[in-house]
C-alpha cells in the first residue's frame, strides 16, 4: 500500500502531538509538583509533628521562643541572639515599665505562630497593650493544646530590636542533610510598626524575594523548592560570610536532637551570626516538590548513610 502525501502529513502530525504530550507530561510531573502530594518532605514533616511522636512536647519546647534561649546557652553558648529585656504574663505590666522601655523593641509571645509585634514608631502604649491581648485570642494549634500550655507555660516578653529589614538565612534539613538554604529578604515589604512580624503582615500581599543554594553553596533553580507567593531574586542574594559556621551549627543541632526534619534560621549582623529560630513545622509541612527533586533529596539522604 502506497502512502499518500496526506498520510505522511498525518503521521508527522501524530508524532508532533506525541512529542508535545510527552513534554507536557514531563513538565507536570517533574516541575509542577502536581503528582507529588505525598513526598518525603511532607511525610517526614508530618511524622515529626504527629502528637503520637514520643518527642512531640520536646519539639514544641524547641519552638518556644524563651525555652530555646536556655537550650542554646547549654549547647551553643557562643551563638548570639536578641537579648530578653522583660518577661511577664499580663500585657498591663507594660504600663508599669513604660518609662524604662527602649525606643524600639520587639514584643513576643513565647509559644504560637507569628506572635510578634515590632515597636519601631511612636505607638501609644495602650495600643501595644490592647494588641498584645489580641495576639493570644486568635486560633493557634499550640495555644489551643492544653498539654503544650501545661508544659511550656507561655509568657509575653520584650526583646531587643536587632534592626530593620534583616536578611533571613534558612537551612532546611532532613535526616541530618542540608537539602536547601533559602536566603530571604523583603519579608514585610513596606509594612512597619506593630503589624511587622504579625500573622497579618505575613499574609499581606507584597513581593518577598529569595535565593536558593545547596549545602555546597551552589545556586539551585527556583523550581527546586518553590515558595508560594515568593519571587526568586533576579540578582541572587550572596551566601552569608559565616556560611560554613551556620552549617556546623545545623549539623550539631541534628546530632544533639536527632530530629528528622527541621529548619534553622539565622541572621548575620555586622559579620556576627545571630540565632533566629528552630522551626520544627516549616511551611506548615507543605512542600509540593517534583519527583526529580524528591529523588535528589532521597539520594542526599542515602549518601554516606546506613
- Show the domains of the chain with their CATH numbers: 36-302 (3.30.470)
* Residue 125 DSSP label: H
Nearest alpha-carbon partner for 114 in 190, 193, 35, 195 = 195
Percent of the chain with pLDDT over 90: 54
Are the beta carbons of 109 and 121 closer than 8 angstroms? no
Are the beta carbons of 157 and 110 closer than 8 angstroms? yes
Nearest alpha-carbon partner for 252 in 63, 82, 76 = 76
C-alpha cell at 236: 541572587
CA terminus-to-terminus distance, the chain: 61
Q: Which pLDDT belongs to residue 17?
A: 81
* pLDDT tens profile 142-163: 888 888 889 989 999 999 999 8
* Side-chain-side CA neighbours of residue 305 (13 Å): 11
> In the beta sheet, which residues pair with residue 268?
273
* pLDDT tens profile 97-128: 999 999 999 999 999 888 889 998 889 999 99
pTM of the model: 0.84
* pLDDT tens profile 172-229: 999 999 999 999 887 766 777 777 666 666 666 566 788 999 999 999 988 788 766 6
* pLDDT tens profile 9-44: 777 878 888 888 777 765 655 555 555 567 899 999
C-alpha to C-alpha distance for 54 and 143, rounded to whole angstroms: 20
Are the beta carbons of 212 and 180 closer than 8 angstroms? yes
C-alpha to C-alpha distance for 200 and 118, rounded to whole angstroms: 13
Amino acid at each position: 500500500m502506497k502512502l499518500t502525501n496526506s498520510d505522511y502529513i498525518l503521521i508527522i502530525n501524530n508524532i508532533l502531538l506525541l512529542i508535545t504530550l510527552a513534554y507536557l507530561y514531563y513538565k507536570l510531573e517533574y516541575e509542577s509538583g502536581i503528582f507529588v502530594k505525598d513526598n518525603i518532605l511532607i511525610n517526614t514533616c508530618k511524622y515529626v509533628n504527629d502528637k503520637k511522636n514520643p518527642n512531640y512536647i520536646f519539639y514544641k519546647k524547641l519552638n518556644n521562643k524563651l525555652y530555646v534561649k536556655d537550650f542554646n546557652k547549654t549547647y551553643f553558648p557562643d551563638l548570639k541572639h536578641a537579648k530578653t529585656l522583660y518577661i511577664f504574663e499580663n500585657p498591663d505590666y507594660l504600663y508599669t515599665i513604660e518609662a524604662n522601655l527602649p525606643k524600639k523593641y520587639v514584643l513576643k509571645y513565647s509559644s504560637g505562630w507569628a506572635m510578634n509585634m515590632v515597636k519601631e514608631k511612636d505607638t501609644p502604649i495602650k495600643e501595644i497593650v490592647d494588641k498584645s491581648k489580641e495576639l493570644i485570642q486568635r486560633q493557634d494549634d499550640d495555644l489551643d493544646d492544653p498539654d503544650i500550655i501545661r508544659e511550656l507555660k507561655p509568657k509575653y516578653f520584650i526583646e531587643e530590636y536587632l534592626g530593620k529589614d534583616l536578611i533571613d538565612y534558612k537551612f532546611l534539613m532532613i535526616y541530618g542533610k542540608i537539602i536547601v538554604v533559602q536566603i530571604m529578604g523583603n519579608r514585610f515589604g513596606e509594612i512597619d510598626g506593630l503589624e511587622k512580624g504579625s500573622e497579618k503582615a505575613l499574609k499581606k500581599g507584597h513581593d518577598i524575594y529569595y535565593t536558593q543554594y545547596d549545602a555546597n553553596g551552589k545556586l539551585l533553580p527556583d523550581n527546586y523548592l518553590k515558595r508560594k507567593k515568593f519571587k526568586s531574586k533576579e540578582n541572587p542574594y550572596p551566601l552569608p560570610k559565616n556560611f560554613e559556621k551556620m552549617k556546623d551549627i545545623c549539623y550539631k543541632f541534628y546530632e544533639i536532637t536527632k530530629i528528622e526534619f527541621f529548619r534553622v534560621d539565622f541572621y548575620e549582623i555586622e559579620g556576627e551570626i545571630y540565632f533566629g529560630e528552630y522551626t520544627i513545622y516549616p511551611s506548615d509541612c507543605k512542600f509540593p516538590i517534583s519527583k526529580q527533586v524528591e529523588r535528589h533529596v532521597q539520594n542526599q539522604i542515602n549518601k554516606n548513610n546506613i
